[in-house]
Amino acid sequence: MANKTVVNSLPDIPELGKGTPNFCNFIKDNVVFQKANDPNTAIFSIENTQQPSMVGGAVALFQLGDGIREPHWHPNAWQLTYLLQGKAETSILDPTTNRVVKCMLDKPGMTAFVNMGWLHWTNGLEKDTQLLLFFNNTFQTQNASTLYLNVDASVWNESLDFDPNVYNTLIQPLVNSKQIPVVIGPPVPC
């Protein structure tokens, strides 16, 4: 008896055996973020919820364009950024030196690696900038915009001597935004 080859492709998925996972996924079926005023600026991902056998990992397609991914960190995963097209600069705050390391991604195939828990952000330098992000875990993200909005001005005043009135004025664009977290800036006004 000859082995039957199953071709697993999108959008029509042929009959699979019992327990055979779907090996083909369309990354744009899982929208993580879409900028309100720019449908071409988005983040899509495939994680173990779409691909159960992909234990402890994730991949994201990041259509950044010429926007900026707000400063953020992943408390549970490292990130490998791979440039597909366009140009980008990934900036990483090294907590061992308190200096910002800048990785210029100016040709397809260039990469930037971000350690777990390190603050980083990415600037798209061309309108067609697209990145593929790899994570060693189903990643969590803490965005700077949610940090600024959820830590009371009095805490910033007591710990860093920030004037609460000045602080509240500085975060006003976030307060007025319909897009929190910002994810890809600048914030979209209400």
Rounded Cα distance, 129 and 83, in Å: 8
Residue 71: its pLDDT value, please? 94
Residue 24: its pLDDT value, please? 67
**What is residue 189's DSSP assignment?**
B
Q: Which CATH number fits domain 27-140: 2.40.30.30, 2.60.120.10, 3.30.700.30, 3.50.50.60?
A: 2.60.120.10
Handedness of CA 150, 151, 152, 156 (dihedral sign): negative
Bridge partners for 130 per DSSP:
63, 85
Q: What is the pLDDT of residues 92-139, one digit of tens each?
A: 999 999 999 999 999 999 999 999 999 999 999 999 999 999 999 887
pLDDT band at 149 (very low <50, low <70, confident <90, very high): confident
Residue 10: its pLDDT value, please? 45
Residue 8: its pLDDT value, please? 43
Delimit the domains of the chain by residue range: 27-140, 142-183
pTM, full prediction:
0.77
Mean per-residue pLDDT, 134-153:
88
Q: What is the pLDDT of residues 54-94, one digit of tens each?
A: 777 888 989 998 888 999 999 999 999 999 999 999 999 99
In the block, residue with structure tokens 């004037």: 163
Sequence-distant (6+) residues with CB within 8 A of 186 are 68, 173
Q: What is the pLDDT of residues 41-50, one digit of tens each?
A: 888 887 776 6
Are the C-beta atoms of residues 188 and 35 closer than 8 Å to each other? yes
Determine the length of the chain. 190
The larger pLDDT score, comparing residue 175 to residue 14, is at 175
**What is residue 136's DSSP assignment?**
S
